[in-house]
Amino acid sequence: MDKFLINGGNKLFGSIEITTAKNAILPILAGCILCEDKIVLHKCPLYADVVNMIKILKNLGADIKYLTKDAEMENNCDIIIDCSNLKSYNIPHELASVIRSSIFSLGSILGRFKKAKVAYPGGCEIGARPIDLHIKGLRALNVKLTDKHGYIYCEGKDMKGGIVNLDFPSVGATENIILAAVLTKGETKIINAAKEPEIIDLIKFLNSMGAKITGAGTSVITINGVEKLNGCEYTPIPDRIIAGTYLVATLITGGKIDIHNFRPDHNQALLEKLKQTNNKWKIKNDILTVKCDGKNKAISKIETSPYPGFPTDMQAQILALQTKSKGTSIIIENLFETRYKHVPELIKMGANITCKDRTAIITGVEKLYGASVNATDLRGGVGLVLAGLCAEGYTTIENVHHIDRGYYKIEEDLKSLGADIERID
Ligand code: EPZ
């Protein structure tokens, strides 16, 4: 069941509740490794990346229970995580290589055990995705690192606070260094830290357990090491990228939907750009209501950049919108060097796009046409879904397991809004 079949042309109507942020709960799950008391996480989503992160915790020896009627994990269930009896500091290749977020478990394993053996991470193939900033940061905390045969070996018995100057405000490297520093004596300063809402959420979670971290959301984060962390209950933030995806989906198909758990403060850059489509929406409390006819004016220029700039994780979705908008749009992808693999697939559907290096130039067309296309990564795959929703005729999308990494049964959600979409063999 790794394909979607979409019969395009239906408008979307109804309401959708945005679930917990993938990129918040992943580092928070890694953070549980630092605590020997029980932790309750509310609204735990079942995205494939989260299920794989839970496998990593279980492999380390964590006891994880699901607060549901039949004690099985279900989407948005509450989970109890008990890391009191961890018996390993090793993340094997078969678990680490499936997701990117295994790499920032390195920081928390080091924080807990002062040693670690972790295989190189995986993640969407959207670029080289090096880990040099992670390694530079851990070395600044006096960790001795060597890597051989695809594993990173760390010796942290002499770990102490230090100053880390990040050449780039890397989300993962910022999270990794925070997690390594929480139980490390002395003061650690991260300069040029990432400011994403998911990092603010991780810091809030850790501080609720007794960590001493300041500067969340700024480019200088300071961590004063503490002896231990205490258990807590926590509800992570909603997923701003899923929220943005449904807003763009409605603009591309037309219709009227209410998006619950919409955090406008997390999506300022996206909302600012979408004003150029000449469509309107209203936000009341945490519900965004968008009503439109599916006609959009092109957005002249979009450049992805670290938060609070335009999010790279919304690039494929907004590019799909531009393929059917009136006018020409320029998109520049500054974060990842090969994050346009959805472009040739959209061209198969009749889109008019030319790509050179990190720049895509899109001239809107009257119609897209259903075709057989291939998902190559999480957000690129979702961009193809959005194109299929408004294309004339049938679109089949292969390899939708990429999409399942960050959306739980997206086809069910879209069907509930009136889309004609099926998951097929
Ligand atoms: C996180 O990836 C997210 N993943 C990505 O979301 C997101 O696109 C990205 O941040 C940027 O916002 C998770 O949080 C699990 P980075 P991460 O380190 O941490 C370079 C999705 O679709 N870099 O901020 O890997 C890197 O090559 C995923 O949900 C180094 O050079 O991103 C890239 O050009 C995709 N050396 C830039 O920094 C390093 O050591 C940003 O990467 C690390 C990164």
229 within ligand 1 shell (Cβ under 6 A):
no
Residue having the nearest C-alpha atom to atom 6 of ligand 1: 313
Quick one: DSSP state of residue 91? E
Å from CA of 379 to ligand 1 middle:
13
The torsion angles phi and psi of 173, rounded to 5 degrees, stand at: -65, -40
Residue 72 pLDDT > 90:
no
Å from CA of 13 to ligand 1 middle:
34
**Nearest CA among 9, 15, 5 for reference residue 243:** 15
CATH of 24-226, one of 3.30.70.330, 3.65.10.10, 3.90.228.20, 3.40.50.720: 3.65.10.10
- CA dist., res. 90 & res. 37, Å (int): 21
Amino acid letter for position 292: C
* Confidence grade of residue 126 (pLDDT, cut at 50, 70, 90): confident
Span 218-224, average pLDDT: 98
Q: What is the pLDDT of residues 13-43, one digit of tens each?
A: 999 999 999 999 999 999 999 999 999 999 9
Å from CA of 312 to ligand 1 middle:
9
Quick one: DSSP state of residue 382? H
Beta bridge partners of 328: 363
94 within ligand 1 shell (Cβ under 6 A):
no
Query: What pLDDT was estimated at residue 41?
Result: 97
Residue pair 261/241 in contact (Cβ under 8 Å)? The answer is no
> Is-same-fold flag (3-16+239-424; 24-226)?
yes
173 within ligand 1 shell (Cβ under 6 A):
yes
Spell out the domain ranges in the chain.
3-16+239-424, 24-226
For residue 118, give Cα distances in angstroms to 126, 135, 244, 403.
22, 12, 34, 26
Q: What is the pLDDT of residues 159-217, one digit of tens each?
A: 999 999 999 999 999 999 999 999 999 999 999 999 999 999 999 999 999 999 999 99
CATH number for the domain running over 3-16+239-424 = 3.65.10.10
CB-CB neighbours of 220 under 10 Å: 11
pTM greater than 0.95 (yes/no): yes
- Reading the block at residue 14, the tokens are 């109804």
